[in-house]
Every structure is written in C-alpha cells, then in structure tokens.
Structure 1
C-alpha cells in the first residue's frame, strides 16, 4: 500500500538490502546501436545523424578551442534522455527524478569549471563578476548578485530536471488513481487524457535533457 504520493519515487526494490532500482540508469545502454555491422542499420544511421546534429548545435555555443568537448555534452544528453524516457515505462525506476542523481551530474561539472576557471583564467573570471558599463556605486552589489547566481547554478540545473520529471509522473499517477471511481464514459476520456499526457511527457523528457546539456554548454563557454 502506498503510504504517500511521493513513495512512487522511492527506490524500494532490493536484494539483500541492496537497492536495484538504480540499475535502471544503465538500461539506456541496451538501446545503443551496433555500429560495427558490415552494413549499417537504420537505427545506427539515425543515431549517427542525431549525433552530428547535436554536435553542430553544441559547436555553435562553445569556443573553437573547446570543440572536442561536444562529445561530452552529447553523452550527457543521451544519458539523461534515456533515463527520462525509460522512466515513463511501467515498473521502471526514474532515476532522473531524484536530486541525488541530478546533483551528481551538475555538481562535479560545475566544480570542475570553477576550479579550471579560477586557476587558469582568474582575470577573466573576475571580469564576469562585474558586467561592462556598471556604475562604480553598484559594483559591490553586482559582484554579490553575480556570485550568488554562479553558486546556485548546479542547484538550478538539478532542480529543473528533477522537478519536471516528478511533476509529470505525479500528474499521471493522480489521474490514474481516479479510474476506479469513474463511469465508462469518463474512463474513456481519462484514457485519452493519459495518452496525451504521456506524449507530452515524452517531449518533456527529451526537451529537459536538451536544456540541461545546452545550459552546461553555456556555462562552459563563459570559461574562456
């Protein structure tokens, strides 16, 4: 019996007190195409086309000297997308709806950028704290505001992804729990609404993975 609404997001499946729900984060590897076939399949051709498209998208956002890092963001996009989409399937644990997972992605990336920026390009990092044309009187306030906005970046990345995943799943669960008390006509309308919401959540799953990757790319582009 579900004690509360948020218990649907708790990892409860375990073997010898070892949670196995987090294994769902590795299910995306099963969908990777076999790129070493003699004759490429349609799936591998679609995968290659998507990779090139993402490479062109990220290439336009980062510096020419950082073009090799596009594969990092493509891998990040792919990992988050598979976790989000597979989480819509029944009995599949949505790892991206937990702050533990999203913070594990955003926090190391942000810390790495900050360490690299402040060690290698200290002067440029200081100039980012004061926008060009800021009056001398407002400079202390702008430094404070820019510092706070920079510190909360990993939190906003993590919360945005987790909140969007939780919101859709909660809505689907709330509507699904009302099916037992509805008439046949209302039940048919509920099924139609659930299908539309599922399509919407599929789009949100892809969009949020793209937003997470693009924002990470933009944060990296500031370290020049």
Structure 2
C-alpha cells in the first residue's frame, strides 16, 4: 500500500511507456500567450498587481539600488513555482515541485551564485555576518561555527521546505481517497467535503510556498550586498 501511495511522486512513472511527468513543468507556458501577448485582460491586470506588490516588497528587502534588477530573477522563480504548484492540483499531472531534484535545481545554483559573489566581491562584509553585533569574545568561535553551518544548509532548507510541504498535502489527499471504496454513502459525502477542504488548503499552500521561497531567496541576496 505504501509503495502504491508514494508512487504518485515517482518521476519515472509513465503512461503507455511514455515518460510524460516532467512535461507538467512546461505547461505554464500555455498560459503566457493569452495573458501577456494579447490585449490586457482582468487576469493580466491581476498578475500585474501581484508583480508590482512583489517587486515593491523585494526592493524594500534588498535596500540596494544596484540590486534592483535582481527582482526580475526572483519574480521568475515566484511565477515558475506558483504555476507548478497549482498544476499539481489537477488530476493526472505530476507535481514537479514535490520532487527534490527540481527544488534543489533551483535552490542550489542560486545559493552557490550568491555565496561566490559575496565572498569574492564583499569578503569583509561576509565575514562580518559570521559574528553578530555585541557577541561576547568567548562565544565568537561558536557563533562563527553556527553561522557557517546555517549558511551552508540554506540551499537544503529552501528545497526541502518546498518539497516537503507539497508532498504532505498530496499524500494526505491520496491516503484519504484510497479509503473511499470502503465507506458508506454518508462517509463518502463527508470524505468529499474533507477533500474539497484539503484542496482549498493546498491552493493556499501553493501560493504560500512560492512566496516563502522567493522572499527567503531575496533575504539571502540582501546579505551579500
């Protein structure tokens, strides 16, 4: 039972010997022509309001005029993760962000690029982050060790947070739905209500996790400038 349950997160599952799971990562492109290349619609106006809000918040976090162009990169991450999170809520579509390979592919190059840039261009500034202000002299070696470990695992925490949150909701919905055939009519009705509630919750999680990934990436970027 556990093997069949976790098989929904297996990127190697196929349909008629066609490995089509990763195609879901490109389905978001289907929404671009009608949203961005035609006359402005209500959907485009909504997206522009979201982008302007995110752009303003990221500029506030960066607090550096030279880094304002980086908001385009983080907005791209936000849009990409948001599309893939929502596409995973549809039946028979593989949720790519629930796989550690995709989330790590986004988090690791971003973290590595920020670290290389910070230590090469702003070495003294990066050293200063290892020891917080007003730290007693005896605690300085321990604070350096703790801050270094915290910096090293940032890429892991970014990717695992996104993957774990996307897996948890899908796994719970899968486990509940597998028991539907053994329930009575009233039980099935209650199960449908619970599944609808979980689907609404997963929609909120899809937005929150894309927002959290983007904001944390912006905060990490602000520390290297």
Give the drift of 1:178.
0.6
Cα 1:133/1:199, change in 2 over 3 Å: same
1:218 paired to 2:219: yes
Give the drift of 1:40.
1.8
Which residue number in structure 2 is paired with residue 36 of structure 1? 37
TM-score by length of 1: 0.94
Distance in 2 between residues matched to 1:15 and 1:54, nearest whole Å:
42
Cα 1:203/1:34, change in 2 over 3 Å: closer
How well do the aligned residues superpose, as a CA RMSD in angstroms?
1.6
Give the drift of 1:97.
0.3
Which residue number in structure 2 is paired with residue 22 of structure 1? 22
Give the drift of 1:29.
1.2
Which residue number in structure 1 is paired with residue 80 of structure 2? 79
Which residue number in structure 1 is paired with residue 123 of structure 2? 122
Which residue number in structure 2 is paired with residue 134 of structure 1? 135
Contact 1:86 1:94 in 2 (8 A): yes
Distance in 2 between residues matched to 1:96 and 1:166, nearest whole Å:
9
- Larger deviation: 55-64 or 28-37? 28-37
- Larger deviation: 5-14 or 80-89? 5-14
Which residue number in structure 2 is paired with residue 69 of structure 1? 70
Give the drift of 1:98.
0.7
Which residue number in structure 2 is paired with residue 187 of structure 1? 188
TM-score by length of 2: 0.94
Structure 2 unpaired stretches of 5+: none
Which residue number in structure 2 is paired with residue 171 of structure 1? 172
**Residues paired across the two proteins, number:** 222
Distance in 2 between residues matched to 1:19 and 1:153, nearest whole Å:
32
Give the drift of 1:35.
2.9
SS in 2 for 1:5: helix
Give the drift of 1:14.
6.3
Give the drift of 1:34.
3.9
